Amino acid sequence: MSFLTSVNSISWLIGGPQGSGVDSAANIFAKTCAKEGFHIFGKREFYSNIKGEHSYFTIRISDKPVNSHLEEINVLVSFDAETLFRHADKVSAGGMIIYDSSLVETVLEEVPTIDFEASNRIRKLLQDSGQSMNLNGMLEFAKSRGCRVYGLPYFEMLETVAQKMNDPKLSKISRVVNVMAISASISLLGIKKDKLINAIQEVFGSKPKLLASNIEAAEYAYSYIGTKYDTKNITYNLTPKDALKDYLLLSGSQAAAIGKIVAGCRFQTYYPITPASDESEFLESNQIIDQVDGKSGSIVVVQTEDEIAAITMAIGASLTGVRTATATSGPGFSLMAEALGWAGMNEVPLVVTMYQRAGPSTGLPTRHEQSDLLFAINAGHGEFPKIVLASGNIEESFYDAIKAFNFAEIFQLPVIHLLDKAISSSIQTCKRFSNDLKIERGEFKNTIDKNQSEGAAGHFQRFKLDDSPISTRVPIGTENAIFWNTGDEHTEEGHISEDPENRNKMMDKRMKKLDLALEKINQDDMAICHDFDSDGKNVVVSWGSTKGAILEALEKLSEEGNKMKFVQIRLLHPFPTETVKNFLKEAKLVIDVEMNYTSQLGSLVQQNTGREVDYKIVKYNGRPISTTELYIALKAILSGNNERRIVLDGGT
């Protein structure tokens, strides 16, 4: 089965040891293709390691928007042995493999970073296909499946480049090998060289020496392919439609960070953790903020001693009136639970951007999962209102970051913005963001007149019991508005109270915000129904980063006449019961798709709507769901598969 939705679409992969420039090479490749007019979706995979372990970057390019990765690879780019051992079997018939021709004798056992389990799998594959246990065997296996292989003598090529540049040292540094590798693939794909050179200029523009050597290496590898290999009958001859006008190429953590800047977040705390730190680092690099009035603003980013400090410092800052956030992942979020309750109790607006990764405990620290949904909803002891909002892709991460702050201030409560590693470190071409969203601050005031202070002792009533659960909120430091906060149950002024009647009133006040949120939040921010002209009988429900793979799989199924609709739930708490019920009204078959073991959304849907999901497609091997495997699973269900729970296991 092939997912080439058009001739102009390929799935490309580069691999190599961590620290060898896989990321920057992939970036250059993505930029080159985007300049040529192709849409991009790129996914990063790496070990929790700094140097040496295998990392890889998959990039899909297409003349139509792409939202997810595929299992199959059309072009495999490598400059080490491990990449071939690990990925060559995924290259589709007719696909192309670029490799280091000096490594063909490398024996599987000689590659120390291939772990025992992977080594066993590869050995079995080579044995079963009667190949030798070295790279040559792997290549022969690929060729037997119809792949074309292109060997490059990187070392000799480096020497030539060094001579051309009159810089003998260059041949010793392998720095430019990554660029030679991608350049060869670009040449094979028939993409114009000048786009590649432009991309290299963008990436290395500020470092003249690196720039020169990379360009020289790229030029050389580009023409080397042309002179060494017959490129006439290349399978993938790509022609872009139009230039991508007003498109960005960025990651989810960048999108969320830029959203925070637009939202007016001016204080962010963090304790380093993958995959959340990228966002804080981006914010810190952009701490001085341009303003439309020509003046400049700024955001203060504080690295704290731990995540408890990160959230409590953020709450302290929020009390001064500034829009405040912290960003973390599961382990850090676990530490934040108690403070989240304090924010709920004291009605403090706060955004926690929660980048999920595979748990429990340290789990698979650099891999993907969506297993913190129920935890996010239930985090903290006792009962208090919070909002949990999940973005489905990179673009949504930007707009949702802004909405998260609006919700936090309108309802005066903590908002958990759920993202995950599949969004944060993937890259995608997105329409340039617009900042025409409004900043809504709810009952926030900067000044209070004297006579508004009317509590028991003539004090301001921060927690006034009124018809509305939302009280006037002022920054600490405001005249005529002295109030108290405490994690204890409290009076309208904020003093400790254990009175049972007051307790009920205050609980009602706080918890009613959840009803109010369901009244006020836009339908599209609660759930979106992507209906593919379906009759609504077969429905996929999901949340978060699975969106891309679902949209693509359903599009393909729809082209084949199997129309299904997709209900993407965005507001996970409070649960938009009515909206979801309505979307599921006609459903004969509800299929829940999630990257976790227990189908957490499935249980939420059942708990809130009473509708049990009929099928569960889950995945928890740390690799995101691909369009390919999801398509196969959905197809199996539609053709009468009787397994109620399908566990996906794709990925390397």
Partner 1 sequence: MAELKLADYKTTVHNDWCPGCGDFGILNAIQMALSEMQIPRHKAVIFSGIGCSGKTPHFINVYGIHTLHGRVLPFAQGAKIANPDLEIIAVGGDGDGLGIGAGHFVGAGRKNVDIPYLIFNNAVYGLTKGQASPTLRLGEKTKSLVTPNTSNSVNPIALALVSGFTFIARSYSYDVKHLKDTIKRAITHKGLAFVDVLQPCPTYDDIHTREWYQGIDKQETGKAMPRIYKIEETGYDGTIKDESEINEKMTRILQFSSEWGDKIPVGIFYQNELIPSYHERIAENNKEYFAKPPSHQEISDNKNNPIAKIDKILDKLQIKD
Q: Which of residues 395-424 bind partner 1 (CB under 8 A)?
A: 402
User: How many whole angstroms separate alpha carbon 192 and alpha carbon 463?
Assistant: 64
Characterize 299-329 residue by residue with b for buried, 16 or more Cβ atoms within 10 angstroms of its Cβ, and e for exposed.
bebbebeebbbbbbbbbebbbebbbbbbbbb
* Residue 287 Cβ vs partner 1, minimum distance, rounded to whole Å: 6
- Looking at 90, 148, 266, 357, which residue binds partner 1 (CB under 8 A)? 266
* Residue 489 Cβ vs partner 1, minimum distance, rounded to whole Å: 12
* Four-residue CA torsion sign, 478, 479, 481, 487: positive
User: How many whole angstroms separate alpha carbon 3 and alpha carbon 385?
Assistant: 44
User: How many whole angstroms separate alpha carbon 196 and alpha carbon 337?
Assistant: 48
The answer to whether the beta carbons of residues 96 and 75 sit under 8 Å apart is yes
Strands 565-569 and 527-530: antiparallel
Residue with smaller CB distance to partner 1, 366 or 429: 429
Q: Which stretch binds partner 1 (CB under 8 A): 134-142, 243-251, 360-368, 576-584?
A: 243-251
Residue with smaller CB distance to partner 1, 83 or 485: 485
Site size toward partner 1, by CB under 8 A: 89
Q: Which stretch binds partner 1 (CB under 8 A): 18-26, 104-112, 122-130, 248-256?
A: 248-256
Answer yes or no whether residue 59 interacts with partner 1 by CB under 8 A. Answer: no
Residue with smaller CB distance to partner 1, 403 or 565: 403
* Residue 455 Cβ vs partner 1, minimum distance, rounded to whole Å: 11
CA distances for 405 relative to 322, 325, 399, 532, angstroms: 11, 9, 11, 32
Tokens of 74: 């059309």
* Residue 632 Cβ vs partner 1, minimum distance, rounded to whole Å: 33
The answer to whether the beta carbons of residues 618 and 595 sit under 8 Å apart is yes
Tokens of 236: 């993938």
Rounded to an integer, what is the distance from CA 238 to the centroid of its chain?
A: 28
Asked whether the bond before 385 is cis by omega within 30 degrees of 0, the reply is no
* Residue 335 Cβ vs partner 1, minimum distance, rounded to whole Å: 11
- Looking at 269, 356, 393, 424, which residue binds partner 1 (CB under 8 A)? 269
Q: Which stretch binds partner 1 (CB under 8 A): 66-74, 142-150, 255-263, 621-629?
A: 255-263
- Draw the binding track, 339-368, toward partner 1 (x: CB under 8 A; -: no contact): x--x--------------------------
* Residue 102 Cβ vs partner 1, minimum distance, rounded to whole Å: 36
Please give the helix or strand (H or E) that residue 373 lies within, else none. Answer: helix 373-378
Nearest to 120 by CA among 104, 102, 108, 138: 108
- Draw the binding track, 106-145, toward partner 1 (x: CB under 8 A; -: no contact): ----------------------------------------
User: How many whole angstroms separate alpha carbon 145 and alpha carbon 157?
Assistant: 29
* Residue 381 Cβ vs partner 1, minimum distance, rounded to whole Å: 12
Nearest to 275 by CA among 206, 331, 319: 331
Residue 473 DSSP symbol: B
Answer yes or no whether residue 258 interacts with partner 1 by CB under 8 A. Answer: yes
Residue with smaller CB distance to partner 1, 215 or 350: 350
Asked whether the bond before 275 is cis by omega within 30 degrees of 0, the reply is yes
The answer to whether the beta carbons of residues 607 and 374 sit under 8 Å apart is no
Nearest to 579 by CA among 589, 571, 587, 588: 571
Residue with smaller CB distance to partner 1, 415 or 605: 415
Rounded to an integer, what is the distance from CA 403 to the centroid of its chain?
A: 18
Number of alpha carbons in the 13 Å side-chain half-sphere of residue 284: 13
Q: Which of residues 447-466 bind partner 1 (CB under 8 A)?
A: 457
* Residue 446 Cβ vs partner 1, minimum distance, rounded to whole Å: 10
Q: Which stretch binds partner 1 (CB under 8 A): 44-52, 147-155, 256-264, 633-641?
A: 256-264
Tokens of 361: 């405990």
Answer yes or no whether residue 267 interacts with partner 1 by CB under 8 A. Answer: yes
What residue ranges in 115-234 does DSSP mark as E strands? 148-152
Residue with smaller CB distance to partner 1, 91 or 394: 394
* Residue 481 Cβ vs partner 1, minimum distance, rounded to whole Å: 7
* Residue 600 Cβ vs partner 1, minimum distance, rounded to whole Å: 28
Answer yes or no whether residue 253 interacts with partner 1 by CB under 8 A. Answer: no
Residue with smaller CB distance to partner 1, 130 or 458: 458
* Residue 336 Cβ vs partner 1, minimum distance, rounded to whole Å: 11
Q: Which of residues 475-494 bind partner 1 (CB under 8 A)?
A: 475-488, 494
The answer to whether the beta carbons of residues 6 and 64 sit under 8 Å apart is yes
Q: Which of residues 565-624 bind partner 1 (CB under 8 A)?
A: none
Q: Give the amino acid at 10.
A: I
Non-local (6+) Cβ contacts of 471 within 8 A are 347, 412, 443, 461, 462, 463, 464
* Residue 34 Cβ vs partner 1, minimum distance, rounded to whole Å: 4
Residue with smaller CB distance to partner 1, 234 or 289: 289
Q: Which of residues 286-325 bind partner 1 (CB under 8 A)?
A: 286-293, 296-300, 302, 304-306, 308-310, 312-324
Tokens of 251: 């990651």
Cβ of 524: how many Cβ atoms within 10 Å? 12
User: How many whole angstroms separate alpha carbon 10 and alpha carbon 275?
Assistant: 27
Answer yes or no whether residue 27 interacts with partner 1 by CB under 8 A. Answer: no
Q: Which stretch binds partner 1 (CB under 8 A): 153-161, 266-274, 352-360, 511-519?
A: 266-274
* Residue 149 Cβ vs partner 1, minimum distance, rounded to whole Å: 32
Q: Which of residues 496-525 bind partner 1 (CB under 8 A)?
A: 496
Residue with smaller CB distance to partner 1, 491 or 546: 491
Q: Which of residues 163-222 bind partner 1 (CB under 8 A)?
A: 195, 198, 202
* Residue 174 Cβ vs partner 1, minimum distance, rounded to whole Å: 29
- Draw the binding track, 60-99, toward partner 1 (x: CB under 8 A; -: no contact): ----------------------------------------
Residue with smaller CB distance to partner 1, 193 or 495: 495
- Secondary structure of residue 10 in the 3-state scheme: strand
Residue listed under structure tokens 């809130």: 608
Residue with smaller CB distance to partner 1, 200 or 618: 200
